[in-house]
Amino acid sequence: MVEAAVDGSVPVPGYASEMDYSSFVGLVRERNRPSGGVRTVQEVAVQARVGPGSRVLEIGSNTGFTSVNLSLLTGSSVLGIDVNPASVAEAEAYARLHGLSDRVRFEVQDARGLSIEDASFDTVWLSNVVSFVPDKERMLGEVTRVLKVGGTVVAVPIYYRRRPPTEIVEQVSKAIGTPLEVMSKSDWRAFYETASDLELYYESDFVYDLIDDQGIEEYCDHLMAKEHLSALDPGMQAQIRERMGYFMRLFNENLSYAGFSIMLLQKRVARDEIELFTSHSAPLLPKD
C-alpha cells in the first residue's frame, strides 16, 4: 500500500476506501462527539457532580472532544486513552489549542489491560466505545478496577429501539472493524449490572434526528475543508470524500433504528437489594 504524508506527521493510506471508521477519524481529524454532543457532556458534568477536584478517565477518547470539553466545563483533570495513535496526536493538539495541556492528557492504551493503578479515578467515561471492543467483560473489569469506591461510570450506549435490517448490521460491523451486536437498552443495562459493584443511579433517554442528504453533503464539505485534507492531491481527496460520504450515510440509516441513553453507575462497596416499587415521570394531573 502506497502512503503519502499529511503535513509531515500523519500517514495517509493510498487507498482510503479500505480504512475502517476508527482509522478514518484519525485521518480526517473529525472531532467525533459523543451522542448528544456538548449537551451530553454538560448533563454528565451536572448529574455526576464532576468538578475542579475530579480525576476523570475517558476510554476511547478519539480526537479529544469529550475530554477537552469536560475539562473546559468543570475544571477537572482528564486522562484520555485510545488505541489509535493518530487520534491521540490530534487530541493532544486539541488540548493545546484550548490551553489545557496541564490538566488534559492523552495516551495510547488498550482498555482491556490498563497501565493504571487501582482506584485512581473519580469518574470513568465510556461513551459508546464498548460497542467496538470484542472482550467487553474484560474491559468492564478494568474500568471498575481503576475507579474509586463511590465513583461513577459514565456510559452513553447506542442501542436499537427496533430491529435493523441484517445488511445494515453487516455493513456497520465491517465499517467499525468488529462484529456489531444488536443490543437493546435493557441489554446494555444488564451488561453493566454484571459488575456486582456497579449500581445505576441516573438514566436519560434520547432518539436521533434523521439527517437529510443535503445535511450530510454539507457536513462532508465542512470536513473536507480542513487544511490538511485540502492540501492533498485531487485523487486522494476524492477517495477520502467518497469514503466519508459512505460512512455518514450508513451511520445515518443505522441510527434511524436506534436511540441512546446517558447511564450513570456508582461503584459501591456492595449493591443494595433490588427496588420493588419503581416509578417513572408522569404529566401533572388536573386539579380537582
**Residue predicted with more confidence, 69 or 177:** 69
**CA distance to 5, 111, 138, per residue, from 231 (Å):** 10, 35, 42
What percent of the chain is predicted at pLDDT more than 70? Answer: 93
DSSP 190: H
Residue 58 forms beta bridges with which residues? 80, 125
Check residue 131 and give its pLDDT. Answer: 85
Judge contact between 244 and 224, C-beta under 8 A.
yes
**Which residues on neighbouring strands pair with residue 42, listed in sequence order?**
none
Q: How confident is the model at residue 129 (pLDDT cuts 50, 70, 90)?
A: confident
- Residue-wise pLDDT for 208-262, tens only, equals 998 999 999 999 999 999 999 999 989 889 999 999 999 999 999 999 999 999 9
- Angle, helix 234-255 to helix 166-176, in steps of 10 degrees: 130
Query: CA 24, CA 94: separation in Å to the nearest integer?
Result: 17
- Position 14 scores a pLDDT of 52
The model's pLDDT over 82-105, given as tens digits with 9 standing for 90+, comes to: 998 988 999 999 999 999 999 999
Total H helices, total E strands in the chain: 10, 10
DSSP class of residue 181? P
In CATH, what is the architecture of 3-267? 3-Layer(aba) Sandwich (3.40)
Within 10 angstroms of residue 168's Cβ, the number of other Cβ atoms is 16
Pairing of strands 121-127, 55-59: parallel
pLDDT at 9 over 70: no
Give the range among 128-132, 135-139, 261-265 with minimum mean pLDDT: 128-132
Whether residue 12 has pLDDT greater than 60? no
pLDDT of residue 279: 83
Mean pLDDT of 11-23: 70
